[in-house]
Amino acid sequence: MILMCHTEFRTLAPGSEAMGKADVVATLAQAEIASKTDLISATLRDDIFQGRIPPGSPLPNQREIAKRFDVSEATASIAIVRLAHEELVVRRRGRGTYVNARLPIPAPSRTLHFVRGLTPGSRERLNDLAFIEDSAALCDAKRYAVRWHHIPHQDLQHPEALLDRFRGARGVITKGICIDLAVMLYRRGIPTVAIVPTGTELSLASAPCPQITYDRRATSRMAVEHLVKLGYSRIAFLGPSWMSLRILGFFDGVQKHKLPIPVEWVREIVPANADELINWLGGLKGQDRPQALCCSTDHVANLVERWLLEKGVRVPEDLAVMACDEGPEAIDAPVPITTVGDSRQELCGLAIETVERIKPGLDPSAPSEIAQPVFTPLHLTVRQSCGANCSTTQIPREVTLKSA
């Protein structure tokens, strides 16, 4: 059980599968609802298994849940239905919803907790859900129970208040911005492993808490190197400005191969500025126009592909696309996306193996051979979006783009 050339923009023909801007907005709205539902159901699961809502007791009603999480009652209802499908709660007509009185509560000593911190405004994406699925599958094979915690950023500012959630656990695996929580749990004798991006591991240098590290900077550098091997020399970077490590990695690759990339080719990209991106591309001509786009994540690349296809730009024939991060959104894109990223299964498996090497009741002040950061390998997954899997591997011909 999981707790956790020459062409131009064309008008698309009726019935085209390319997603229009209205469809993109609708999809983003659906994703936001889904992410809120994930957060609500994960929190209620945690309340049930931590005994805050005991077996046989009533679950808060839709109105109470909606008020607690600041969502609509319809969204709260979806979360309750999900818990009912998992047989955690029982719905009784005319009486409300109750926690399953026969719910088997796993022993804490056989429970692994996965913790992900939520930054302000962040949403659960398909990659996070896939990570949950992978971790649950690996734990199930080892007969561990899994509990997944989504903890808001403001709660992580006071990690001591979260300690009771994890007492007696076989282990805790944190991911993202939960560094202080990971250090505190390890110092309290709870086997804990932190999954952190490069650069963050320095914050753990003074603590013996084991770390599994993934290299965000290297992913974009490897993406540039792959595009260069295919013959591209004019490459732009698209992504949010806060992904500084990905931007630095992009420039690492650019400088290594002495590519003439203007600084303005590093573009901020968010759903609201689709027209800005199209107008920028449409205003470039000849050598001033990129041949390929290196995107910060598969989510960004997926959106960019849909915007380009909406304007009749073919991927990769007219413009190649590549992404950092390997996740479901790379596979589900209109043209499957070539990516560089770490394997979720390797990441989960290494974290679980490391937790198992830590003895419960450990002395956190004693030196440990597993205290040094362990770096996970990166993988290049080649798909059609870069042109390597197409009938021709030549560089896309010159394209003339009209502004949106």
- Going by pLDDT thresholds of 50, 70 and 90, the confidence category of residue 400 is very low
pLDDT at 401: 38
pLDDT at 21: 42
Q: pLDDT exceeding 70 applies to what percent of the chain?
A: 74
- Going by pLDDT thresholds of 50, 70 and 90, the confidence category of residue 207 is low
The residue ranking higher by pLDDT, 387 or 137, is 387
pLDDT greater than 80 at residue 122:
no
Arithmetic mean of pLDDT, 316-340: 89
pLDDT at 301: 92
The answer to whether 147 and 113 are in contact (CB under 8 A) is yes
Arithmetic mean of pLDDT, 98-104: 78
pLDDT greater than 70 at residue 356:
yes
- Going by pLDDT thresholds of 50, 70 and 90, the confidence category of residue 152 is confident
pLDDT greater than 60 at residue 3:
no
pLDDT at 82: 80
The residue ranking higher by pLDDT, 99 or 283, is 99
The residue ranking higher by pLDDT, 23 or 178, is 178
pLDDT at 118: 64
- Going by pLDDT thresholds of 50, 70 and 90, the confidence category of residue 121 is very low
Secondary structure string (H, E, C) spanning the chain? CCCCCCCCCCCCCCCCCCCCHHHHHHHHHHHHHHHHHHHHHHHHHHHHHCCCCCCCCECCCHHHHHHHHCCCHHHHHHHHHHHHHCCCEEEECCCEEEECCCCCCCCHHHEEEEEEEECCCCCCCHHHHHHHHHHHHHHHHCCCEEEEEEEEHHHHCCHHHHHHHHCCCCEEEEECCCHHHHHHHHHCCCCEEEEEECCCHHHHCCCCCCEEEECHHHHHHHHHHHHHHCCCCCEEEECCCCCHHHHHHHHHHHHHCCCCCCHHHEECCCHHHHHHHHHHHHCCCHHHCCCEEEECCHHHHHHHHHHHHHCCCCCCCCCEEEEECCCHHHHCCCCCCEEEEECHHHHHHHHHHHHHHCCCCCCCCCCCCCCCCEECCEEEECCHHHCCCCCCCCCCCCCCCCCC
pLDDT at 188: 82
Architecture of domain 218-342+381-386 in CATH? 3-Layer(aba) Sandwich (3.40)
Contacts (Cβ under 8 Å, ≥6 apart) of 97: 58, 59, 61, 80, 84, 89, 90, 91
- Going by pLDDT thresholds of 50, 70 and 90, the confidence category of residue 391 is very low
Q: pLDDT exceeding 90 applies to what percent of the chain?
A: 18
Tens digits of per-residue pLDDT, 239-272?
888 788 899 999 999 999 999 888 889 988 766 6
Arithmetic mean of pLDDT, 162-181: 82
Can you give the residue ranges of every domain in the chain?
A: 21-99, 218-342+381-386
pLDDT at 127: 57
pLDDT greater than 70 at residue 228:
yes
Lowest mean pLDDT among 123-127, 136-140, 168-172, 369-373: 123-127
- Going by pLDDT thresholds of 50, 70 and 90, the confidence category of residue 129 is low
- What pTM was computed for the model? 0.64
CATH of 21-99, one of 1.10.10.10, 3.40.50.1000, 2.40.50.140, 3.40.50.300: 1.10.10.10
- Going by pLDDT thresholds of 50, 70 and 90, the confidence category of residue 361 is low
pLDDT at 258: 93
- Going by pLDDT thresholds of 50, 70 and 90, the confidence category of residue 225 is very high
pLDDT at 396: 40
Arithmetic mean of pLDDT, 72-86: 84
Arithmetic mean of pLDDT, 361-373: 60
Tens digits of per-residue pLDDT, 17-76?
333 444 434 433 444 444 677 778 878 877 887 678 888 889 999 999 999 888 888 888
Arithmetic mean of pLDDT, 387-403: 45
The answer to whether 356 and 171 are in contact (CB under 8 A) is yes
pLDDT at 242: 78
pLDDT at 363: 64
